[in-house]
Amino acid sequence: MVITNVGLKFTPVATLRYAAKPSVNLFRRSSLNIEVINEKPGDDARIHQVTEQAFLSTPHTDHTEQFIVDSLRRAGALTISQVAKVDGEIIGHVAISPITLSGGETGWFGIGPISVLPEFQGLGIGSKLMQSSLAALEKMGASGCVVLGDPAYYGRYGFKVVDGLIFPGVPAEYFQALSFSGEFPNGEVSYHEAFSA
């Protein structure tokens, strides 16, 4: 099932990537030296590759996630762009961009795409990217953020379904928000036009 709204394609199955891949190799997880840092000039080509590979075998997607990130970057709309590195090599990425709320509230952002190379999925790298990006948002004074995805996975970071906060065309249980102040806006959410890439 693909749900499309204003060019934004949402696939519930695709968002389960990290929650659904069990970490069977605990030794490998504990032995990885994972570094999460802000994107640097020149990282864009590798981020494109990582994002493309991360979603390559994901069913029910148009496989445009890498183009969304590229479009956000070109538009100057990548508020936060962080990479996960292992042994100096980029193996994961998270993009955060501003959203528009119909009520006019500001300081709210959308998380995603979040990408981890297939061979590194299920090792906690997506979690490290989430934790780091949420900390960066809070530090910059953001009001909060929204995410499309598995409620069980994102719920562990404090995301929840908020009555009155709507992304039309998406099942309500998959659209969640996290407020850094405890207060949530009402109204419809629109993502940046780059999501129609």
Structural tokens at position 162: 């908020």
CATH of the domain at 126: 3.40.630.30
| % of the chain beyond a pLDDT of 70 | 84
Rounded CA-CA distance 57/34 in Å is 24
What average pLDDT score do residues 64-69 get?
96
Higher pLDDT, 26 or 162: 162
**Number of domain units in the chain:** 1
59 pLDDT band, cuts 50/70/90, is: confident
Alpha-helix residue ranges (DSSP H) falling in 2-158: 17-20, 26-31, 44-55, 65-74, 125-139, 151-155
Q: How far is CA 18 from CA 29, 97, 126, 140, 186, in A?
A: 14, 21, 7, 27, 29
Give residue 28's pLDDT: 55
What average pLDDT score do residues 81-87 get?
97
Rounded CA-CA distance 163/193 in Å is 25
What average pLDDT score do residues 60-68 get?
89
**Residue whose structure tokens are 């929204």:** 146
1-10, 84-93, 145-154, 158-167 — which is least confidently predicted?
1-10
Range of the domain at 34: 3-196
Type of residue numbered 155: G
SS3 91: strand
Structural tokens at position 105: 């509230």
Type of residue numbered 105: E
Type of residue numbered 18: Y
Mean residue pLDDT of the chain comes to 87
Rounded CA-CA distance 73/97 in Å is 10
Give residue 146's pLDDT: 98
According to DSSP, the β-strands at 144-148 and 108-116 are parallel
SS3 69: helix
